Amino acid sequence: MPAETQAQVKPHLGNTSHLLQQAKAQMQAEEFEKANYYFRQIIESGVPIPTEMPYFFAKTLFELKQYDNSSKFLKKYLEINGEGAQQYKMAKTLEAQLESPLEAIKNCSLCNEHGYQYQTCSNCKGEKKIESSCSLCKGKGIIGCSHCVGTGLITKKNIFNITEYFECRNCNGKGRLICPECKGSLVETRPCQSCLGTGKIPTDILCKHQP
* Residue 74 binds Zn ion, judged by CB under 5 A: no
Residues in the chain: 211
Per CB under 5 A, the segment of 36-44, 48-56, 64-72, 189-197 that binds Zn ion is 189-197
* Residue 121 binds Zn ion, judged by CB under 5 A: yes
Per CB under 5 A, the segment of 34-42, 44-52, 83-91, 114-122 that binds Zn ion is 114-122
Of 92, 26, 15, which is closest to residue 50 (Cα–Cα)?
Answer: 15
* Residue 114 binds Zn ion, judged by CB under 5 A: no
- In the complex with Zn ion, the residue whose CB is nearer, 90 or 195, is 195
Helix-, strand-, coil-residue percentages of the chain, each rounded to 5:
35, 20, 45
Q: Of the candidates 8, 22, 123, 189, which one interacts with Zn ion according to CB under 5 A?
A: 123
Q: Of the candidates 27, 53, 61, 168, which one interacts with Zn ion according to CB under 5 A?
A: 168
* Residue 85 binds Zn ion, judged by CB under 5 A: no
Q: Of the candidates 181, 189, 191, 202, which one interacts with Zn ion according to CB under 5 A?
A: 181
CB 62 within 8 A of CB 90: no
Cβ count within 10 A of residue 156 = 9
- In the complex with Zn ion, the residue whose CB is nearer, 107 or 158, is 107
Of 7, 127, 113, which is closest to residue 59 (Cα–Cα)?
Answer: 7
* Residue 195 binds Zn ion, judged by CB under 5 A: yes
The gap between the terminal CA atoms of the chain, to the nearest Å, is 36
Q: Of the candidates 4, 58, 111, 118, which one interacts with Zn ion according to CB under 5 A?
A: 111
Provide the b/e sequence for 124-138 (b: ≥16 CB within 10 Å): bebebebeeebeebe
Of 53, 42, 52, which is closest to residue 16 (Cα–Cα)?
Answer: 42
- In the complex with Zn ion, the residue whose CB is nearer, 94 or 171, is 171
Binding site for Zn ion (CB under 5 A): 108, 110-111, 121, 123-124, 134, 136-137, 145, 147-148, 168, 170-171, 179, 181-182, 192, 194-195, 207, 209
